[in-house]
Amino acid sequence: MSNSFGKIFKITTFGESHGPLIGVVIDGCPSNIEITENEINFELQKRRPNLNEFVSKRNEMDSAKIVSGVFNGKTTGSPICILIENRDVKSKNYDKIKDLLRPSHANYTYLQKYKIFDHRGGSRASARETVARVAAGAIAKKILKTLNIKIFAYLKSIGDILSDVKIDDLENIYKSKIFCPDKIAEKKMIEKLKDIQKDEDSIGGVVEFVILNTPPSLGDPIYDKLNAKLAAALISIPAAIGFEIGDGFEGTKKQGSKRNDLFAFEKKRVVTKTNNEGGIQAGISNGRPIVGRVAFKPTATHGKPQETIDIYGNKKLLEFPNDKRYDPCIAIRAASIVDAMCSIVIVDSYLLNRVATLDPLMKLNLLFKKDESKAQKNIKLKKI
Protein backbone atom coordinates (compact mmCIF):
# COMPACT_ATOMS: atom_id res chain seq x y z
CA MET A 1 0.00 0.00 0.00
CA SER A 2 1.31 3.44 -0.95
CA ASN A 3 0.14 5.51 1.98
CA SER A 4 3.45 7.33 2.54
CA PHE A 5 5.07 10.22 0.72
CA GLY A 6 8.50 11.84 1.07
CA LYS A 7 12.02 10.64 1.83
CA ILE A 8 13.23 12.66 4.83
CA PHE A 9 10.13 14.70 5.68
CA LYS A 10 7.87 11.68 5.29
CA ILE A 11 4.12 11.60 5.82
CA THR A 12 1.89 8.54 6.23
CA THR A 13 -1.86 9.12 6.22
CA PHE A 14 -4.54 6.76 7.48
CA GLY A 15 -8.30 6.58 7.95
CA GLU A 16 -11.42 6.41 5.78
CA SER A 17 -14.16 8.85 4.82
CA HIS A 18 -16.73 7.33 7.20
CA GLY A 19 -14.37 5.85 9.77
CA PRO A 20 -13.98 7.34 13.25
CA LEU A 21 -11.06 9.58 12.26
CA ILE A 22 -8.45 10.62 9.73
CA GLY A 23 -4.81 10.88 10.75
CA VAL A 24 -1.24 11.45 9.68
CA VAL A 25 2.17 10.48 11.03
CA ILE A 26 5.04 12.80 10.09
CA ASP A 27 8.54 11.39 10.43
CA GLY A 28 11.75 13.32 9.81
CA CYS A 29 10.49 16.70 10.96
CA PRO A 30 13.36 18.77 12.41
CA SER A 31 13.19 19.52 16.13
CA ASN A 32 12.36 22.88 17.70
CA ILE A 33 9.83 23.94 15.07
CA GLU A 34 7.12 25.87 16.89
CA ILE A 35 3.65 24.51 16.12
CA THR A 36 0.25 24.55 17.81
CA GLU A 37 -3.05 22.85 17.13
CA ASN A 38 -4.54 26.27 16.38
CA GLU A 39 -2.02 26.82 13.59
CA ILE A 40 -2.93 23.46 12.07
CA ASN A 41 -6.64 24.21 12.45
CA PHE A 42 -6.14 27.53 10.64
CA GLU A 43 -4.95 25.63 7.57
CA LEU A 44 -7.67 22.99 7.92
CA GLN A 45 -10.38 25.64 7.78
CA LYS A 46 -9.32 26.51 4.23
CA ARG A 47 -10.30 23.05 2.92
CA ARG A 48 -13.07 22.02 5.28
CA PRO A 49 -16.51 21.21 3.88
CA ASN A 50 -19.54 23.43 4.53
CA LEU A 51 -17.26 26.48 4.42
CA ASN A 52 -19.63 28.32 2.08
CA GLU A 53 -22.43 27.70 -0.42
CA PHE A 54 -20.06 26.46 -3.13
CA VAL A 55 -18.62 23.41 -1.37
CA SER A 56 -19.90 20.14 0.11
CA LYS A 57 -22.50 20.48 2.88
CA ARG A 58 -20.88 17.74 4.94
CA ASN A 59 -20.49 19.59 8.23
CA GLU A 60 -17.04 18.69 9.54
CA MET A 61 -15.34 21.22 11.83
CA ASP A 62 -11.94 19.57 11.29
CA SER A 63 -10.21 20.11 14.61
CA ALA A 64 -6.70 18.65 14.85
CA LYS A 65 -5.33 16.86 17.88
CA ILE A 66 -1.55 16.43 18.21
CA VAL A 67 -0.89 13.20 20.11
CA SER A 68 2.89 12.84 19.75
CA GLY A 69 6.07 14.54 18.62
CA VAL A 70 5.41 17.99 20.10
CA PHE A 71 6.41 19.16 23.59
CA ASN A 72 5.84 22.63 25.01
CA GLY A 73 4.76 23.87 21.60
CA LYS A 74 7.86 22.65 19.75
CA THR A 75 8.62 19.58 17.64
CA THR A 76 10.92 17.11 19.39
CA GLY A 77 12.35 15.28 16.38
CA SER A 78 10.26 12.18 17.06
CA PRO A 79 7.29 11.12 14.87
CA ILE A 80 4.39 13.56 14.98
CA CYS A 81 0.91 12.07 14.98
CA ILE A 82 -2.14 14.25 14.25
CA LEU A 83 -5.75 13.03 14.49
CA ILE A 84 -8.91 14.63 13.04
CA GLU A 85 -12.28 13.14 13.96
CA ASN A 86 -15.05 12.41 11.45
CA ARG A 87 -18.26 13.67 13.04
CA ASP A 88 -20.84 14.22 10.29
CA VAL A 89 -21.00 10.88 8.52
CA LYS A 90 -24.27 9.68 6.98
CA SER A 91 -23.38 6.15 6.02
CA LYS A 92 -27.00 5.08 5.46
CA ASN A 93 -27.10 7.26 2.36
CA TYR A 94 -24.76 4.76 0.72
CA ASP A 95 -26.49 1.52 1.72
CA LYS A 96 -28.88 1.38 -1.24
CA ILE A 97 -26.08 1.95 -3.76
CA LYS A 98 -23.45 -0.25 -2.13
CA ASP A 99 -23.58 -2.85 -4.95
CA LEU A 100 -23.61 -0.32 -7.79
CA LEU A 101 -20.53 0.59 -9.77
CA ARG A 102 -20.38 4.36 -9.45
CA PRO A 103 -19.17 5.98 -12.70
CA SER A 104 -15.65 7.48 -12.45
CA HIS A 105 -15.37 6.41 -8.79
CA ALA A 106 -13.02 4.00 -7.05
CA ASN A 107 -15.26 1.08 -6.13
CA TYR A 108 -14.75 -0.95 -9.33
CA THR A 109 -10.95 -0.69 -9.42
CA TYR A 110 -10.60 -1.11 -5.65
CA LEU A 111 -12.77 -4.25 -5.82
CA GLN A 112 -10.63 -5.61 -8.62
CA LYS A 113 -7.45 -5.02 -6.65
CA TYR A 114 -8.44 -5.86 -3.05
CA LYS A 115 -11.64 -7.92 -3.47
CA ILE A 116 -13.26 -5.75 -0.82
CA PHE A 117 -14.41 -2.12 -0.72
CA ASP A 118 -15.88 0.08 2.01
CA HIS A 119 -18.69 1.70 0.02
CA ARG A 120 -19.39 4.43 2.57
CA GLY A 121 -18.46 7.79 1.09
CA GLY A 122 -15.68 6.45 -1.11
CA SER A 123 -13.71 5.17 1.87
CA ARG A 124 -9.95 5.60 1.48
CA ALA A 125 -10.35 6.97 -2.06
CA SER A 126 -12.44 9.87 -0.80
CA ALA A 127 -11.04 13.40 -0.81
CA ARG A 128 -11.71 13.27 2.93
CA GLU A 129 -8.24 11.70 3.21
CA THR A 130 -6.67 15.00 2.15
CA VAL A 131 -7.47 16.64 5.48
CA ALA A 132 -4.45 14.71 6.80
CA ARG A 133 -2.24 16.12 4.05
CA VAL A 134 -3.26 19.66 4.92
CA ALA A 135 -2.47 19.00 8.58
CA ALA A 136 1.02 17.80 7.62
CA GLY A 137 1.34 20.74 5.24
CA ALA A 138 0.72 23.13 8.13
CA ILE A 139 3.92 21.90 9.80
CA ALA A 140 5.83 22.01 6.52
CA LYS A 141 4.75 25.62 6.07
CA LYS A 142 6.16 26.53 9.49
CA ILE A 143 9.52 25.14 8.37
CA LEU A 144 9.33 27.08 5.10
CA LYS A 145 8.54 30.25 7.01
CA THR A 146 11.95 30.04 8.69
CA LEU A 147 13.46 29.90 5.17
CA ASN A 148 11.29 32.76 3.84
CA ILE A 149 9.82 30.45 1.20
CA LYS A 150 6.22 31.30 0.37
CA ILE A 151 3.70 29.08 -1.40
CA PHE A 152 0.40 30.19 -2.91
CA ALA A 153 -2.30 28.17 -4.67
CA TYR A 154 -5.43 29.63 -6.18
CA LEU A 155 -8.27 28.87 -8.55
CA LYS A 156 -6.94 29.56 -12.04
CA SER A 157 -10.05 28.54 -13.93
CA ILE A 158 -13.49 26.94 -13.77
CA GLY A 159 -14.69 25.50 -17.05
CA ASP A 160 -13.70 28.07 -19.69
CA ILE A 161 -13.51 31.01 -17.25
CA LEU A 162 -9.87 31.96 -16.82
CA SER A 163 -8.45 34.24 -14.11
CA ASP A 164 -5.54 36.64 -14.56
CA VAL A 165 -3.56 36.75 -11.31
CA LYS A 166 -0.37 38.74 -10.72
CA ILE A 167 2.20 38.13 -7.99
CA ASP A 168 0.92 41.20 -6.12
CA ASP A 169 -2.54 39.59 -5.98
CA LEU A 170 -1.41 36.41 -4.23
CA GLU A 171 -1.80 37.74 -0.69
CA ASN A 172 -5.51 38.23 -1.42
CA ILE A 173 -6.29 34.59 -2.23
CA TYR A 174 -8.13 33.89 1.01
CA LYS A 175 -10.21 37.05 0.78
CA SER A 176 -12.11 35.20 -1.95
CA LYS A 177 -14.60 32.52 -0.93
CA ILE A 178 -13.55 30.45 -3.94
CA PHE A 179 -9.82 31.27 -3.60
CA CYS A 180 -9.65 33.36 -6.78
CA PRO A 181 -8.02 36.78 -6.20
CA ASP A 182 -9.04 38.06 -9.65
CA LYS A 183 -12.29 39.85 -8.75
CA ILE A 184 -13.61 40.01 -12.30
CA ALA A 185 -13.04 36.30 -12.93
CA GLU A 186 -14.30 35.45 -9.43
CA LYS A 187 -17.66 37.07 -10.18
CA LYS A 188 -18.02 35.10 -13.43
CA MET A 189 -17.00 31.87 -11.70
CA ILE A 190 -19.57 32.34 -8.96
CA GLU A 191 -22.34 32.85 -11.52
CA LYS A 192 -21.18 29.69 -13.29
CA LEU A 193 -21.19 27.76 -10.03
CA LYS A 194 -24.74 28.87 -9.28
CA ASP A 195 -25.88 27.58 -12.67
CA ILE A 196 -24.09 24.28 -12.09
CA GLN A 197 -25.76 23.88 -8.68
CA LYS A 198 -29.20 24.61 -10.11
CA ASP A 199 -28.61 21.89 -12.66
CA GLU A 200 -27.45 19.49 -9.88
CA ASP A 201 -24.24 18.93 -11.80
CA SER A 202 -20.49 19.51 -11.34
CA ILE A 203 -17.66 21.12 -13.29
CA GLY A 204 -13.88 20.90 -13.46
CA GLY A 205 -11.22 23.50 -12.79
CA VAL A 206 -7.52 24.29 -12.64
CA VAL A 207 -5.46 25.30 -9.60
CA GLU A 208 -2.26 27.26 -10.17
CA PHE A 209 0.57 27.31 -7.62
CA VAL A 210 3.39 29.80 -7.17
CA ILE A 211 6.43 29.15 -4.96
CA LEU A 212 8.51 32.22 -4.13
CA ASN A 213 12.06 32.59 -2.75
CA THR A 214 13.06 29.02 -3.49
CA PRO A 215 16.86 28.75 -3.48
CA PRO A 216 18.55 27.34 -6.58
CA SER A 217 19.65 23.66 -6.34
CA LEU A 218 16.54 21.93 -4.94
CA GLY A 219 15.72 18.68 -6.71
CA ASP A 220 17.75 15.67 -7.81
CA PRO A 221 18.40 14.08 -11.19
CA ILE A 222 17.39 11.74 -12.71
CA TYR A 223 14.25 10.24 -11.22
CA ASP A 224 13.80 12.67 -8.33
CA LYS A 225 13.58 15.85 -10.35
CA LEU A 226 11.78 18.59 -8.46
CA ASN A 227 9.11 18.87 -11.14
CA ALA A 228 8.67 15.09 -11.08
CA LYS A 229 8.21 15.13 -7.29
CA LEU A 230 5.70 17.95 -7.57
CA ALA A 231 3.87 16.06 -10.31
CA ALA A 232 3.72 12.88 -8.21
CA ALA A 233 2.51 14.78 -5.15
CA LEU A 234 -0.15 16.78 -6.96
CA ILE A 235 -1.48 14.08 -9.27
CA SER A 236 -1.97 11.93 -6.15
CA ILE A 237 -4.71 14.34 -5.02
CA PRO A 238 -8.17 12.83 -5.66
CA ALA A 239 -9.76 14.08 -8.92
CA ALA A 240 -6.45 15.47 -10.26
CA ILE A 241 -6.11 14.60 -13.95
CA GLY A 242 -3.33 16.83 -15.27
CA PHE A 243 -0.12 18.63 -14.29
CA GLU A 244 2.13 21.15 -16.00
CA ILE A 245 5.08 23.31 -15.01
CA GLY A 246 6.06 26.71 -16.40
CA ASP A 247 4.36 27.43 -19.72
CA GLY A 248 3.41 23.74 -19.84
CA PHE A 249 1.56 22.54 -22.92
CA GLU A 250 1.54 26.06 -24.35
CA GLY A 251 5.30 25.69 -24.67
CA THR A 252 4.81 23.11 -27.41
CA LYS A 253 3.46 25.83 -29.67
CA LYS A 254 6.66 27.91 -29.48
CA GLN A 255 10.03 27.78 -31.20
CA GLY A 256 13.04 26.98 -29.02
CA SER A 257 14.88 30.14 -30.07
CA LYS A 258 12.02 32.23 -28.69
CA ARG A 259 11.10 30.10 -25.68
CA ASN A 260 14.51 29.58 -24.02
CA ASP A 261 14.99 31.45 -20.72
CA LEU A 262 18.06 33.60 -21.41
CA PHE A 263 20.51 34.15 -18.55
CA ALA A 264 21.50 37.55 -17.21
CA PHE A 265 23.43 38.90 -14.23
CA GLU A 266 21.49 41.40 -12.15
CA LYS A 267 22.04 42.75 -8.65
CA LYS A 268 24.98 40.40 -8.14
CA ARG A 269 23.04 37.24 -8.94
CA VAL A 270 22.20 35.01 -11.87
CA VAL A 271 18.65 35.41 -13.21
CA THR A 272 16.71 34.46 -16.32
CA LYS A 273 14.96 37.10 -18.39
CA THR A 274 11.84 34.96 -18.74
CA ASN A 275 10.43 32.03 -16.75
CA ASN A 276 9.05 29.61 -19.30
CA GLU A 277 10.67 26.71 -17.43
CA GLY A 278 8.64 27.59 -14.34
CA GLY A 279 11.64 27.97 -12.04
CA ILE A 280 13.01 24.45 -12.64
CA GLN A 281 15.78 23.47 -15.06
CA ALA A 282 16.84 19.85 -15.58
CA GLY A 283 14.75 18.96 -12.54
CA ILE A 284 16.56 21.42 -10.24
CA SER A 285 15.26 24.78 -9.01
CA ASN A 286 17.01 27.80 -10.54
CA GLY A 287 15.91 30.47 -8.07
CA ARG A 288 13.06 31.88 -10.16
CA PRO A 289 9.44 31.54 -8.94
CA ILE A 290 8.23 27.97 -9.37
CA VAL A 291 4.93 28.11 -11.23
CA GLY A 292 2.67 25.25 -12.28
CA ARG A 293 -0.90 24.08 -12.59
CA VAL A 294 -3.03 21.08 -11.65
CA ALA A 295 -6.20 20.17 -13.54
CA PHE A 296 -9.15 18.67 -11.64
CA LYS A 297 -11.98 16.78 -13.29
CA PRO A 298 -15.64 17.53 -12.52
CA THR A 299 -16.64 15.94 -9.22
CA ALA A 300 -17.75 12.40 -10.04
CA THR A 301 -20.59 12.64 -7.51
CA HIS A 302 -23.49 14.89 -8.55
CA GLY A 303 -27.27 15.01 -8.38
CA LYS A 304 -28.14 13.65 -11.82
CA PRO A 305 -29.24 10.01 -12.37
CA GLN A 306 -26.71 7.87 -14.24
CA GLU A 307 -26.97 4.54 -15.99
CA THR A 308 -24.65 1.87 -14.64
CA ILE A 309 -24.49 -1.77 -13.58
CA ASP A 310 -24.23 -3.53 -10.25
CA ILE A 311 -21.44 -5.90 -9.20
CA TYR A 312 -23.46 -8.79 -10.70
CA GLY A 313 -23.68 -7.19 -14.16
CA ASN A 314 -27.33 -6.09 -13.95
CA LYS A 315 -28.33 -2.75 -15.47
CA LYS A 316 -29.15 -0.19 -12.79
CA LEU A 317 -29.89 3.52 -12.40
CA LEU A 318 -27.66 5.30 -9.94
CA GLU A 319 -29.59 7.99 -8.08
CA PHE A 320 -27.70 9.63 -5.26
CA PRO A 321 -29.53 11.49 -2.44
CA ASN A 322 -29.73 15.18 -3.35
CA ASP A 323 -28.34 16.42 -0.03
CA LYS A 324 -25.57 18.51 -1.63
CA ARG A 325 -22.84 16.60 0.21
CA TYR A 326 -20.56 16.92 -2.80
CA ASP A 327 -18.52 19.75 -4.28
CA PRO A 328 -19.92 21.36 -7.45
CA CYS A 329 -16.27 22.12 -8.30
CA ILE A 330 -13.63 20.14 -6.41
CA ALA A 331 -10.90 22.54 -7.57
CA ILE A 332 -12.08 25.17 -5.05
CA ARG A 333 -11.10 23.20 -1.95
CA ALA A 334 -8.24 21.57 -3.82
CA ALA A 335 -6.32 24.86 -3.69
CA SER A 336 -5.45 24.31 -0.03
CA ILE A 337 -4.41 20.72 -0.75
CA VAL A 338 -2.14 21.81 -3.61
CA ASP A 339 -0.62 24.37 -1.21
CA ALA A 340 -0.01 21.64 1.39
CA MET A 341 1.51 19.11 -1.02
CA CYS A 342 3.82 21.73 -2.54
CA SER A 343 4.95 22.64 0.97
CA ILE A 344 5.72 19.02 1.80
CA VAL A 345 7.69 18.54 -1.44
CA ILE A 346 9.77 21.70 -0.95
CA VAL A 347 10.59 20.86 2.69
CA ASP A 348 11.57 17.30 1.78
CA SER A 349 13.70 18.57 -1.11
CA TYR A 350 15.36 21.18 1.10
CA LEU A 351 16.29 18.59 3.73
CA LEU A 352 17.60 16.22 1.04
CA ASN A 353 19.67 19.06 -0.40
CA ARG A 354 21.53 19.48 2.89
CA VAL A 355 23.26 16.15 2.30
CA ALA A 356 24.04 16.76 -1.39
CA THR A 357 27.50 18.19 -0.65
CA LEU A 358 29.94 17.76 2.22
CA ASP A 359 29.83 21.47 2.96
CA PRO A 360 26.30 22.92 2.69
CA LEU A 361 27.73 26.41 3.32
CA MET A 362 29.42 26.57 -0.05
CA LYS A 363 27.90 28.51 -2.90
CA LEU A 364 28.81 29.29 -6.48
CA ASN A 365 30.75 32.52 -6.92
CA LEU A 366 30.35 34.06 -10.35
CA LEU A 367 31.88 37.43 -9.52
CA PHE A 368 35.32 37.76 -11.03
CA LYS A 369 37.86 40.54 -10.85
CA LYS A 370 38.78 42.15 -14.15
CA ASP A 371 42.51 41.65 -13.63
CA GLU A 372 42.33 37.89 -13.06
CA SER A 373 43.95 35.66 -15.64
CA LYS A 374 41.85 33.33 -17.77
CA ALA A 375 42.97 30.37 -15.68
CA GLN A 376 41.70 32.11 -12.56
CA LYS A 377 38.32 32.82 -14.08
CA ASN A 378 37.11 29.27 -13.68
CA ILE A 379 34.08 28.83 -11.42
CA LYS A 380 35.08 29.00 -7.75
CA LEU A 381 33.51 27.92 -4.51
CA LYS A 382 33.42 30.47 -1.77
CA LYS A 383 32.38 30.04 1.86
CA ILE A 384 29.49 32.18 3.08
- CATH no. for residue 296? 3.60.150.10
Give per-residue pLDDT as tens, 113-138.
Answer: 999 999 888 889 999 999 999 999 99
3-state SS assignment for residue 240: strand
Neighbours of 179 (CB within 10 A): 24
Please check the confidence at residue 80 and state whether its pLDDT lies above 50.
yes
Residue 363 confidence (pLDDT): 59
SS3 for 185? helix
What is the pLDDT at residue 356? 86
Whether 364 has a pLDDT exceeding 70, the answer reads no
The mean pLDDT value for 12-19 works out to 95
SS3 259: helix
Q: Which domain holds residue 81?
A: 4-383
Q: How far apart are CA 130 and CA 211, in angstroms?
A: 21
Q: Which residue has the higher pLDDT, 382 or 173?
A: 173
Q: pLDDT class for 366, splitting at 50, 70, 90?
A: low
Residue 384 — very low, low, confident or very high, per pLDDT cuts 50/70/90? very low
Tell me: pLDDT of 83 over 70.
yes
Are 349 and 217 in contact, with CB atoms under 8 Å apart? no
Q: Residue 23 — pLDDT band, cuts 50, 70, 90?
A: very high
CB 25 within 8 A of CB 12: yes
Q: Is the dihedral of CA 279, 283, 285, 290 positive or negative?
A: positive
Q: State mean pLDDT over 273-299.
A: 98
Residues of the chain with pLDDT > 90, as a percent, come to 82
**Could you tell me if 146 and 32 are in contact, meaning their C-beta atoms sit under 8 angstroms apart?**
no
**Number of folded domains that form the chain:** 1
Can you list the positions of beta strands (E) in the chain?
Answer: 4-5, 10-15, 21-27, 64-68, 70-71, 74-75, 80-85, 150-158, 161-162, 205-212, 240-245, 263-266, 269-272, 280-281, 284-285, 290-296, 306-309, 315-318, 362-365, 380-383
Whether the per-residue pLDDT at 229 is higher than 50: the answer is: yes
Q: Identify which of 134, 137, 133, 117 has the alpha carbon closest to the alpha carbon of residue 18.
A: 117
